[in-house]
Amino acid sequence: MEIKNSNDPPDRVHPRVGLLRITVLGMLVSMLVLLSGCRMAASDREAGGYVDENAADESLTVQLVAANGAMYGIEHHRMAQRIQGFRQLFPNTDITIRWVQDYNIMDASHQSKRTSWIRSDTPTDLFTAAKDVPDIVELVPNQMKELYRLDRIEALNLNRTAVKDDVIASNDGYVLGVKSKINPMIVYYNKLVFQGLGLETPSEEWDLDKLNDTIVRLKAAGETVYIPLNPYTLEWAASLKGGRIAAADGITYSGYLDSDETVQGVEWLASVGTKYREKIVANIIPPAMPFDLLDGEIALAVDYAVVSDPNNYEEISQRDDRFGIVGLPLGTTGINPAQVSGLSIPSQSKHKEMAMKLLNFLLQDTDALYSDIADYTLQANMKPFSVPVSQERKALILRAMKRSVPAILYMHEEAFPMTYFSQWHSPKPLADIHNGQPIREALHRYAMELEGEWKAVGAETK
């Protein structure tokens, strides 16, 4: 049979040959479309990316942590809006957003034990004797790991390489949640002071020597620098020296929290000279941030991007354009210990399959997910902004988020500002360092206290 060139005119092709070609070609195309459709359908079923109008009626309850959730509702929170958008794929699924103030996971009788720096009481309090367990709950990584040990949340089938930066895993590699909030540390600085002294704008690429040189020059000019000593700055400072405050298991601190590198990091933090405030109002030691910054009394500060009204990067910047923000200096060894939260599926959920589809839906577009995470982190403790959020500043925060890791000692979300209590509720060993006690001795005591807390968890769960 003569092979015809595709450019040959039609009248040179025998009619029966042409008909045969068309028929065979049509069959091939139909088969390809069918196979492609099967592959797409399977892929869509995994990600929840199709509309199933014939699905049986189902419901999902998603419990989110936001101090203002009940007040402002879904319209104010991008993550909640994104979750509600899932219903477009499953019109018969009723989605309820339930708001809580925090996840301290303890009843009123335990409030005396409440602290920002150690674990919450046994997380079974969230589920014990519960008749109405949410299908998805928002937790911080330490809570997830504790709940997972108790078989109270599910390991998620989300081990895909493409989403490894978007999920929270256990120490042994099981995925426990999808990130919902990421609050990185950043630098706040007074642009006018830096310009007046001819100082280079701070940079996330700075190493400790460059940062310290800038601090020395600021202080020599009579300017104030605010970098408090707390568990988060301690973790960052130790990393700048090449150390870590805990072993890979996340619960072994001795030999790490009291290592040479951590001691050197704390020595540097102590040398910056951020002391407890002398002024006492209503028996509470007030913070320097953000109030002194807004009053122009601080030239450079290290703090979280978002804590609470008015202590967040966007409101500070909108209030006074003298102040700029940059990423946390990391050098070559530093880490940004972010306050991270995520969405997990309780073992008692009655709608695990649909809950898993929702989590897959959130992971379909990770760029959009990170944008929503940035907004939700900012919105969770804030009233609505009267001026739109600066996209330039948001881009900087997104970069900081993507370069961050979950803070080792972030134990649970709080509805009140963390910075406001960062020195008042600072662990006693760190407060003792402020008061002149030997650094290594205080850090070793802190390590033993933390390990004692986790040993107590193990004893309670046996």
pLDDT, tens digit, for every residue of 294-339? Answer: 889 999 999 999 976 667 999 999 999 999 999 999 999 999 999 9
Please name the residue that has the structure tokens 């102590």. Answer: 270
Task: Give CA angle at 357 (180, 395), nearest 5°.
Answer: 30
Residue 325's domain spans which residues? 185-337+416-446
pTM of the model: 0.83
Position 423 in a domain: yes
Q: What is the DSSP string of 256-276?
A: TTTSHHHHHHHHHHHHHT-PP
Residue 77 CA to residue 43 CA, distance in Å, equals: 29
Same domain, 310 and 228: yes
Do the strands 93-100 and 58-65 form a parallel or antiparallel pair, or are they unpaired? parallel
Position 409 in a domain: no
Same domain, 195 and 327: yes
Same domain, 120 and 223: no
Number of domains into which the chain is organized: 2
DSSP state at residue 279: -
Same domain, 150 and 172: yes
Cβ 231 vs Cβ 407: under 8 Å? yes
Domain of 289: which CATH number?
3.40.190.10
At residue 291, the pLDDT reads 84
Residue 138 CA to residue 99 CA, distance in Å, equals: 10
End-to-end CA distance of the chain: 79
Residue 14 CA to residue 459 CA, distance in Å, equals: 85
User: How deeply is 36 buried, as exposed, middle or buried, from its count of CB atoms within 10 A (0-12, 13-18, 19+)?
Assistant: exposed
Residue 397 CA to residue 305 CA, distance in Å, equals: 8
Same domain, 346 and 303: no
At residue 461, the pLDDT reads 54
Three-class SS of residue 414?
coil
List of the chain residues with pLDDT < 70: 1-56, 102-130, 275-287, 308-310, 414-425, 456-462
Same domain, 169 and 189: no
Q: What are the backbone dihedrals phi and psi of residue 360, each rounded to the nearest 5 degrees, phi first?
A: -65, -40
Q: How far is CA 63 from CA 41, 60, 70, 98, 103, in A?
A: 30, 10, 12, 5, 10
Q: What are the backbone dihedrals phi and psi of residue 365, each rounded to the nearest 5 degrees, phi first?
A: -125, 95
Half-sphere exposure of 238 (CA within 13 A, CB side): 26
Domain boundary among 379, 396, 429: 379
Same domain, 79 and 216: no
Could you give the dihedral angle defined by the CA atoms of residues 441, 443, 448 and 454, in that order, rounded to the nearest 10 degrees?
A: 180
Same domain, 117 and 253: no
Position 427 in a domain: yes
Same domain, 248 and 331: yes
Q: What is the DSSP string of 47-81?
A: HT-S--TTSPPEEEEEEEE-TTHHHH-GGG-HHHH
Closest CA to 181 of 437, 410, 451: 410
Same domain, 281 and 349: no
Residue 222 CA to residue 185 CA, distance in Å, equals: 25
Position 438 in a domain: yes
Same domain, 265 and 243: yes
DSSP state at residue 173: S
Cβ 330 vs Cβ 205: under 8 Å? yes
Cβ 367 vs Cβ 244: under 8 Å? no
Same domain, 102 and 206: no
Longest dimension (CA), the chain: 99
pLDDT digits (tens, 9 = 90+) for 63-108: 999 988 888 989 999 999 999 999 999 999 999 999 987 665 443 3
